[in-house]
Amino acid sequence: MRFLFLLAGTLLVLPAYAAQLTVDLGHGAKTWTTEQLLKHPQARDIDIPADVSYKREMHYRAVPVAALLEAVTGDAHLQAVATDGFAAEMPAGPLLQKTGSQAWLAVEDPAHPWPGLSLDKPSAGPFYLVWTNPAASKISPEQWPYSVGQIKLLASVAERFPALLPDAKLGPDDPVNKGFALFQKNCFACHRLNGAGDSQLGPDLNIPHNPTEYFAGDYLKLYIRNPQNLRQWPQAKMPAITQEVLSDQELDQVVAYLKHMAGRKVRQ
């Protein structure tokens, strides 16, 4: 936790408290303290040239995420849960990589706290999942969860939340199924759909109404690309989703999935 005080016109930043991270891989949860992680044998200093959350170069003391995922296989599924309700669904494969895109758990040192994400926000600590060389595996911004409190091994999204599934008659290469995969990667960390999901951050995208039902024409795509281009609201939390994150074709597939699910609402 980070505190700001004004004293005689000077902004004082008091150190963050030491924190705990819970890693639950299905065979008993393990708790790591800030101190333990800072002293982890694989901890090292890393530089992130274009940090997703800070929008600039950042330097961290970090531990390879793979070092915290003992016995986890590449086909497993994990969830990183933040203290604000953000729940990032993440396949284990990219998290275990040791070349190309590599995942790191950045650890905030209470004696040297990170800056706030903005003037009125705390830092990205105490634990922040960052990536070196993210472009190699096309890592999306939703795969950079900050303020992480827990990492846990879970069944896949499709297994846990069947209410999200498109019609089983659709083939795997159907744009709707491709859009479902992209929805999981880029949208599901903040939004539920049909009441299904673990995130507490954004609204449900199908109940009571699907956005394809009330955004006319291409306004939904305009909103997804940059919400501020459609409705200017300084307090809005949804970021712009650029073509580097979702190509125009991929955006069409996400919208196809949403439109399809508008006809598959669950009863409340």
- Residue with tokens 């909103």, as numbered in its chain: 223
- Domains delineated in the chain: 3-154 (3.90.420.10), 158-261 (2.60.40.420)
The predicted model scores a pTM of 0.79
pLDDT of residue 199: 80
pLDDT at 226 over 90: no
- pLDDT tens string 136-183: 998 988 899 999 999 999 999 999 999 999 999 999 999 999 999 999
pLDDT at 114 over 50: yes
Listed in sequence order, the residues at least 6 apart from 225 whose beta carbon sits closer than 8 Å to its beta carbon are 240, 241, 242, 251
Side-chain-facing half-sphere of 196: CA atoms under 13 Å: 18
Give which of 159, 167, 142 is closest to 237, Cα–Cα. 142
- CA distance linking residue 113 with residue 128, whole number of Å: 13
